[in-house]
Amino acid sequence: LELNSTTKYRLLRKQSSVPTKKLPDALIIGVKKCGTRALLEFLRLHPDVRAAGSEVHFFDKFYHKGFEWYREKMPPTVEGQITMEKTPSYWVTRSAPKRVYAMNPTVKLLAVVRDPVTRAISDYTQSASKRPSLPRFEDLALENSSLGWGSAGRSVVAARWPPVRLGLYARAFRRWLRRFPRSHLLVISGERLVGDPAAEMARVQAFLGLKQIITEKHFYFNSTKGFPCLLKSESRPTPHCLGKTKGRNHPHIDPVAIERLKDFYRPFNEKFYQLTGTNFGWP
């Protein structure tokens, strides 16, 4: 049977578009409670993006299972599609930069960040939703200092409490920068992802080398929820928001505690602005 070149080309195309599972081309590496789910769900609107639905935790928990195990967790893709995954704990896993580099030194890395004070409250709110007996935020975020200042009632920020510690973005970011060129890391503003999702998604699509398909036409602002929601997505043809666990009401926090935390984070935020070349505008 003699095939003309067009038919041969079509057959080849067909062959190469048989869906197969690939290791990720891009990862959302963090930060916990900064809008990582929103970013992933927004990216999934793009026909050239396929992402694992749940957090895979390969580079922190399951690395011993090997790359073949990891690949199996990925959705099938055809040529031209990007494979993605998000696991926010990668951000602070010390061995993650080296391991990710071993998988693919040209992988693209995305991180969402948000005012570390609100991030800490969000993190606490999530824990409190599972453990109602949890002490007040103020009592966990601040500890009484017996040293130094002398006057009673002074408190210092509990820098080692995980919800506080995770907001020290510069530290973790430096670890990633030791392995990866700056151009392979995109830092996204969690505040802008809420305030202007289309603008932030334009940056994301450019970074990933994708056609600009996700635009303001995909979003509407749901004023009851107070967040942008989707008009439709691949899984649902009707308007919908992220689940109930995204966009929780935060408890009222003593303004004095908030001020202490803001003062605490200020120098670390400055450092992070320098490293990223972006002023995120946190108060």
SS (H, E, C) the chain: CCCCHHHHHHHHHHHHCCCEECCCCEEEEECCCCCHHHHHHHHCCCCCEEECCCCCCCCCCCHHHCHHHHHHCCCEECCCCEEEEECHHHHHCCCHHHHHHHHCCCCEEEEEECCHHHHHHHHHHHHHHHCCCCCCHHHHHEEECCCCCCCCCCEEECCCCHHHHCCCHHHHHHHHHHHCCHHHEEEEEHHHHHHCHHHHHHHHHHHCCCCCCCCHHHEEEECCCCEEEECCCCCCCCCECCCCCCCCCCCCCCHHHHHHHHHHHHHHHHHHHHHHCCCCCCC
Tell me which residues in 146-175 interact with ligand A3P (CB under 6 A).
none
Does position 50 interact with ligand A3P (CB under 6 A)? The reply is no
Does position 34 interact with ligand A3P (CB under 6 A)? The reply is yes
Does position 246 interact with ligand A3P (CB under 6 A)? The reply is yes
**One of 33, 50, 73, 192 touching ligand A3P (CB under 6 A):** 33
Does position 228 interact with ligand A3P (CB under 6 A)? The reply is yes
Does position 187 interact with ligand A3P (CB under 6 A)? The reply is no
Min CB(47)–ligand A3P separation in Å:
21
**One of 37, 44, 46, 108 touching ligand A3P (CB under 6 A):** 37
Min CB(49)–ligand A3P separation in Å:
17
Min CB(188)–ligand A3P separation in Å:
10
State the residues that interact with ligand A3P by CB under 6 A.
Answer: 32-38, 88, 122, 125, 193-194, 227-228, 241-242, 246-248
